[in-house]
Amino acid sequence: MQAIIDELARQAEADLAQVTSKETLASFWQKYLSKNGQVPALMKNLRTVDAAERPAMGKAINELKQKVQADYDAAAVRVNQAELAARNAAETVDITLPAKTRPTGGLHPLTLVRNQIIDAFAGMGFEIYEGPEIEDDDHCFTRLNVPKDHPARDMQDTFYLSDELLLRTQTSTGQIRTMDAERPPIKVLVPGRVFRSDSDATHSPMFHQMEGLVVDKGINLCDLQGMLDVFVQKLFGSEVRTRLRPSYFPFTEPSVEVDVSCFECHGKGCSLCKHTGWIEILGGGVVNQKVLRNCNIDPEVYSGIAFGIGIERIAMLKYGINNIGLMFENDLRFLGQFHE
Ligand code: DAH
C-alpha cells in the first residue's frame, strides 16, 4: 500500500508540473481530488488493508491528500497570476498612438473673415448696423446719388421684386439707413449679403460686403487712410501699407480705390499682385455732400468718409482661393481647411 501511495504522490507531482492553464488545472483536480479521483479511491481501498496497518496507512493517505490539495491550491494561484499577466500584456494600451478624433465643426471662411474685419473696426469704436436685404430703389440708388437714368446702375443690375423693390446690390444702403436714424457723430459698420446679376470665377450673384461710414465734424480722407491702415495690418500683417488711387463712385467725392501692399512678395512683384507690388482691396472716399443733404445732414457742419469691402474678395486673397464658387458649395474637404 505504501508503495502505491508513494507512486501516486510522485505521479501527482509530475502531473502538476505540467499544469499551465485553467483547463489542465481542472483535469488535474478531476484526476486526483474529485469524488471519483485517485486520492479518494485510495481511501476506499483502505478497507482491504490489514487492520493492524490501517491507522498508519490512513494517516499516510490523509497526508497525501493534504499535500496534493496544497500543491493544487498553489498551482491554482500560479495559473491565475500567469493568465492575468498574459491578459495584461495583450491588452496593453499604446499611449503613443494617435487618438481617434471626432469630426468637429468650424467657422466658414467668410464668417472668419467677417469676424476679423469686425474685430479690427470694433477696436476703433465702430458699431454694427444690419439693414434689410430687400430694399427700395431710394435707399439702394437714388439717395446715394444714383438717379434712375444714371449709367452707374448698369454695373449693379439686380433682381427686382417690383418697380420699387429689389434685392440690394450694395451695403451702401446702410449709409442712408443709419443717417436717417442717427445724428452725427456716426461710426458704423454694415455687414451683409448683396445681390447682382453677375457670375464668373470671381463673381457670384450673391456675395457679402462690409460698409463703413464715419460722419462727424472735420472728417477727411486722411481719417479714411488711417483707419484702413489699422484694418489691413490686422488682417494681412503689420508690415503692409495702403495706397489710394483716384476713382469714381456716385456717393463719394473724391472717390478712391484702396490698394494694399502685397503681403505675399512684400512689393517685389509676384503673381498674386500681378507683379505690381499692390493689390486692390476696396473702394471708398469722402461722402458726397449730396448724400449728406439727402439725409438732412448739413455738409457745411459735418463731413464723412465711407468705404465698401467685398468679404469674398478679402477671403480669396487671404486664403489663396481662386474660385468664388467654392465658398458656396459647402464641400467639407474645402471647409475643413479653415478649422482652427
Ligand atoms: N458700394 C460700392 C460697390 O458695391 C463699394 C463702395 C465704394 C462703398 C465706395 C463705399 C464707397 O462706401 O465709399 O461697388
List, as one string, the DSSP characters of 267-332: TS--TTTTTTTEEEEEEEEEEPHHHHHHTT--TTT-EEEEEEEEHHHHHHHHHT---TTHHHH--H
- What nine digits make up the cell of 47? 478497507
- What nine digits make up the cell of 131? 439693414
Please report the pLDDT score of residue 146 as a whole number. 95
172 lines ligand 1 (CB under 6 A): yes
What separation in angstroms does the CA of 151 have from each of 141, 148, 318? 11, 9, 33
- What nine digits make up the cell of 266? 512684400
173 lines ligand 1 (CB under 6 A): no
Other Cβ atoms less than 10 A from the Cβ of 194: the count is 25
284 lines ligand 1 (CB under 6 A): yes
Please report the pLDDT score of residue 267 as a whole number. 84
Residue of 139, 146, 170 to mutate, ligand 1, most atoms within 8 A of C-beta: 170
308 lines ligand 1 (CB under 6 A): yes
- 279: helix, coil or strand? strand
The whole model's pTM is what? 0.72
d(CA 8, CA 138): 113
170 lines ligand 1 (CB under 6 A): yes
Question: Whose CA is closest to 30, among 79, 81, 72, 74?
Answer: 72
Please report the pLDDT score of residue 95 as a whole number. 85
Q: What is the CATH number of domain 109-338?
A: 3.30.930.10
Check: CB of residue 243 under 8 Å from CB of residue 258: yes
Please report the pLDDT score of residue 101 as a whole number. 83
Please report the pLDDT score of residue 104 as a whole number. 82
What digits encode the pLDDT tens for the residues 226-264? 999 999 999 999 999 999 999 999 999 999 999 999 999
Residue of 189, 303, 307, 314 to mutate, ligand 1, most atoms within 8 A of C-beta: 307
For atom 6 of ligand 1, the residue with the nearest CA is 308
Please report the pLDDT score of residue 105 as a whole number. 87
User: For 231-263, b where at least 16 C-beta lie within 10 A, e where not — what string?
Assistant: bbbebbeeebebebeeeebbbbeebbbbbbbbb
Please report the pLDDT score of residue 119 as a whole number. 96
CA of 284 to the centre of ligand 1 (A): 6
- What nine digits make up the cell of 226? 488711417
Check: CB of residue 130 under 8 Å from CB of residue 191: yes
192 lines ligand 1 (CB under 6 A): no
Low-confidence ranges of the chain (pLDDT < 50): none
d(CA 305, CA 175): 10
Please report the pLDDT score of residue 155 as a whole number. 86
